[in-house]
Amino acid sequence: MDFSLSEEHLMAQRMVREFAQKEVYPTIKEWDRKQQMNPAILPRMAELGILGICIPVRYGGQGYDYITLGLVCEELERVDSTLRVVMSVHMGLNSLALLQWGTEAQKQKFLVPQARGQKYGAFGLTESGAGSDVVAMQTTAKRHGDVYVLNGEKMWISLATKAHNFLVVAKTDPSAGHRGLTAFIVERDMKGVTTGDIHGKLGVRAGSTGWIAMQDVEVPVENRLGEEGEGFYIAMSCLDNGRYTVAAGATGLIRACLEDSIKYAHERKTFGKPIGEHQLIKQKIAYMQQWYDAARLMVLHVGWLKNMGLRNTRETSMAKWFATDHSVKAALEAIQIHGAYGFSDEYDVERYLRNSKGAVIYEGTSEIHQLMQADYALGYRRDRPLRCEMPAYDAAYWQAEAINA
């Protein structure tokens, strides 16, 4: 059993850490207060290859493995959650779904420009009345010859006003329950597609969150992802990848709380000595260290399972549940350690707390994951093979140039 990271892992980690710390951190408070996304972020992430970090080179990516994706997400959220959200949506919920389920033509048309960062991808599943209860969605898709006509509205969509392509799940057979859902790639410039931003969020304020409305949008059959009726299974496989990035990011947020608290505990003095020498402060630091170590091991384990091409729905759910729940706890403890300063935006810990709360809601609430884990333990839930399983990481294939390059 080898827990060491390769030189490739460490190189990617250093590159992303330097980008986040030097180029994003100095102005993140300003953009958070403005409740706007820095327009330079996405182009810069594209330039560095981050937006295609674990997509094969033949499809425009960098050819790194899934463990690298987790390390990248940890480093991004160490600075701010908005950076990791980009990876969760563009990579986890969209690009990796194209890699898993897309035809070769779809990969060339949509995946290649997304991996290169020439276009951005988003994911449209949630609606105003359909979150955990996916089948409650109202968006419909009716086939008319060579096109599907989509009608409906998706809410709480990250990158809604930034993305070029949306992976949208809609009902093609309302009477068939979860077997009546189908997935489509909806392009922004299609007639009838409109988007908008949502303001006034508690956290992730420096990011883009909004809505997508579709009115009689004609989507060609060749933009259908998978077969008719596979939308639920495609969406769940997307969530396996998205939840992995969320868990990795939450691990970075725990680390942020820990490192900032250690720094403050050495600087702040009470009763004639640094507060780090007080036992109850030590207790909080120790808990945060424990939570970080445990979350990181869970995330690395999931990354290894993905590299091996092994099903990881249970393990990903556990990692997401644990890391996000404990990122909230770590942020609360960090604020307590900082005292009155933790209650102001002079220090970063108040932003960590606001950002942490979203991740225990999106991509499966903590309650949903708790029920999933109970069902696995009790034997009520078993994962069935999918028609298209996520491909295992093959270094030779991932890093090989495209045959027609």
Q: Which two tokens stand for residue 215?
A: 């009115």
Report d(CA 159, CA 151) in Å as an integer.
20
Active site residue 363: yes
Tell me how far apart the terminal alpha carbons of the chain are, to the nearest angstrom: 38
| DSSP string for residues in 236-291 | HHHHHHHHHHHHHHHHHHHHHHHHHHHHHHHH-EETTEEGGGSHHHHHHHHHHHHH
DSSP string for residues in 4-45: PPPHHHHHHHHHHHHHIIIIIGGGHHHHHHHT---TTHHHHH
Q: What angle do CA 327, 236, 204 make, to 5 degrees?
A: 35
Structure tokens at 133: 């209860």
Q: What are the structure tokens assigned to 55, written together?
A: 């997509």
Q: What is the DSSP string of 42-79?
A: HHHHHHTTGGGTTS-GGGTS----HHHHHHHHHHHHHH
Radius of gyration over every alpha carbon of the chain, rounded to an integer in angstroms: 21
- Our CA angle for 360, 89, 77, nearest 5°, is 60
User: How many Å apart are CA 356 and CA 62, to the nearest integer?
Assistant: 29
Amino acid, res. 250: A
- Of the residues 75, 77, 350, 363, only one is catalytic, namely 363
Catalytic residues: 363
